[in-house]
Structure 1
Amino acid sequence: MITEEALPTYQTMLNSFDGVRDETGASLTSWAIWTRGWTAEENRHGDLLKHYLYLCGRVDMRQIEKTIQYLIACGMYINTENSPYRGYIYTSFQERATFISHSNTARQAKQYGDLKLAKMCGTIAADEKRHAAAYTNVVEKLFELDPDGAVVAFAEMMKKKIVMPAHLMFDGRDGALFDHFAAVAQKLGVYTASDYADIIEFLMGRWRVESLVGLSDEGKKAQDFLCQLAPRYRRLEERTQGKGKHGPKQRFSWIFDRELQV
């Protein structure tokens, strides 16, 4: 939910891409209309989940609000260098990751009997899947028109890794809050290293990266790197699987300093 609330940061990020930014704040270009429409839809996600948390009474809303405040103030850095190629590759990946995490949360909520939360997260996941499809279609067109530029941009983003939108998350107490949060998400199966590899494989197939021909030397190197990436993550996951099942405990201020294993 906290990640969903940092929309000012995400809209700022989208408007940093050369050639597609909203120059006036109310531009009638297709890119600007899309960005504002996307932001409006995403805004409903954070509102819905925050209202749910407030009404359920199971979290410390003061700490939730502090974390949101810090997150928006800190911003984010995703290595796009103002490039629309890199930017829309990032959003293609990230929206699919968000779809997966909300879907997994919906599944677990249903498993534990919270059917309302399951419905909420399932509805949000459906929105995220549509957003992912839109961004993926944009990049698919880039691969069609400029395969060399697109594959190099894809490789550059993956070399630096896809950082999550809330990587600068802070609650006023835990300086490594995002790392601890991500570790719990991995343990619970909300978003895992396997999901990361799955997304790479999905995008590789959707954009037909392995079958690209006529590339420059730089493009071929990028293609080779990308083709080896998902298997590399699979091997890494296999080596680390089962490790750290009894890791250290960490207090989370959002749930009244309750300790969870990370």
Structure 2
Amino acid sequence: MQRTLTQLEILSELSGVAEANVNRHLSMAKDWNPHDYVPWDEGRNFATLGGQDYDPSQSRLSDVARAAMITNLLTEDNLPSYHREISENFSMDHAWGHWVGRWTAEENRHGIVMRDYLTVTRAVDPVQLEEFRMIHMGNGVTSEGHVGERIGDQEVDPYARSLLHVVAYVTFQELATRVSHRNTGKACNDPIADKMLQRIAADENLHMIFYRNICQAAIDLAPDQALRAIADILLNFQMPGLGMPDFRRNGVLMAKHGIYDLRQHREEVVMPVLKKWKIFDRNDFGPDGEKAREELAVFVEELDHQATRFEEMRDRSLAREAKKRAAAAS
């Protein structure tokens, strides 16, 4: 029977893995400057400085691209909450602390460049964007918000803020964010925005690899304990934007138009990571791990069914909209 390790024991056992992966990240990460991805020659003053305030007609983005950019930026804006969660669970000592600082600095660049781009190009209402930022950052995000109160008929223990839960969550979240940024860049129909979001997506991918490797080592170290955390996270997964203004409306638009939907969540986020960890091939799980694995098997099958149902409804909705446009144009 596997012994349940304390958080301190897990941190200590995985410190060498953390150091190796910090060094790996530093060898692969590309330094870049936010100002290089902003068309500054398009900028002009707003009314307070004698210019013109924002008008919706100034935006070149579609409704879908605008919703996705706002959602992605507000997600990046909540960095202080993410930093707090990770630093409290990772500690700020040795390689763990080095990673927390490096990761936070790299993530901060994403918010800087996206806000500069959106403000300079007048792609979104800057007043509303600031109002939304204040609300979202005021609400904050904690890992309790990513782990549901119940799984089936069982209460989820408040250990949801453990290192294993946090590492599992950020592994999937970083990959989901990469997909969302990449597809948002394509939807913007602007080569500058596309290049900028490709750069951000590349960062997110490297961050995901760091967390995925730490989680892999945790599975090897404490298989049942780690898999329980993974199951807790996936069965109750929410993007960190949950709770921001207009999140559900924007999320529907993004799903409807291929920015991030259930199929992408399953095929591009959940399954690749589970396969990388060989979750359904391992033979070192005890009773608790086997139970968690069974829950995951049911989950991924149901997610496939949900994605299919959503795609059918989306196709019908898009067909109706196309028919209305055709009728209006004739």
Q: Name the TM-score, length of structure 2 as normaliser.
A: 0.67
**Structure 1: tracts of 5 or more residues without a match:** 23-27, 171-176, 248-262
Quick one: distance in 1 between partners of 2:174 and 2:122?
Answer: 29
Partner-residue secondary structure (3-state), 1:190: coil
- What is the Cα deviation at residue 82 of structure 1? 2.0
Give 1:108 deviation, angstroms: 2.6
How far the C-alpha of 1:33 sits from its partner, in A, is 1.4
Give the letter aligned to residue 133 of structure 1.
I
> What runs of 5+ residues in structure 2 fail to find an aligned partner?
1-72, 148-158, 319-330
State the partner residue of 1:210. Answer: 280
CA distance in 2 between partners of 1:227 and 1:125 (Å)? 29
The answer for the alignment partner of 2:289 in structure 1 is 219
C-alpha separation between the residues in 1 aligned to 2:271 and 2:317? 31
Report sequence identity in percent: 28
Write the distance in 1 (CA, Å) between the matches of 2:214 and 2:288.
22
- For residues 156-195 of structure 1, the aligned pairs below 5 Å read 156-159=232-235, 161-170=236-245, 177-195=246-264
Return the index of the structure with the highest Cα Rg: 2
Counterpart residue identity of residue 35, structure 1: V
The structure in which a higher percent of residues are helix is 2
Q: Secondary structure at the match of 2:312?
A: coil
Q: CA RMSD in A?
A: 1.6
- Find the residue that maps to 2:173 and give its secondary structure: helix
Q: Runs (4+) of structure 1 moved beyond 6 Å?
A: none
Q: CA deviation at 1:122?
A: 0.4
Letter in 2 for 1:118: D
Given the alignment, which residue of 250, 270, 274 partners 1:200?
Answer: 270
Pick aligned residue for 1:120 from 176, 189, 196: 196
After TM superposition, give the deviation of residue 246 of structure 1 in Å: 4.3
Q: How many residues align?
A: 230
The correspondence for 1:9, drawn from 81, 104, 112, is 81
8 Å contact from structure 1 (residues 88, 135) kept in 2: yes
Residues in 1 aligned to 2:133 and 2:229: alpha-carbon distance in whole angstroms: 31
1:83 offset after TM fit, Å? 0.6
Q: Specify the SS of the correspondent of 2:169.
A: helix
2:85 partner SS: helix
Q: Any conservation in 2 of the 1:96–1:129 contact (CA below 8 Å)?
A: yes
The CA deviation at 1:164 is 1.1
Q: Is the 8 A contact 1:16 1:82 kept in 2?
A: no
- Between the aligned partners of 1:246 and 1:227, the Cα distance in structure 2 is 31
Matched, 1:243 2:313: yes
How much does 1:4 deviate?
0.9
TM-score norm. by structure 1 comes to: 0.83
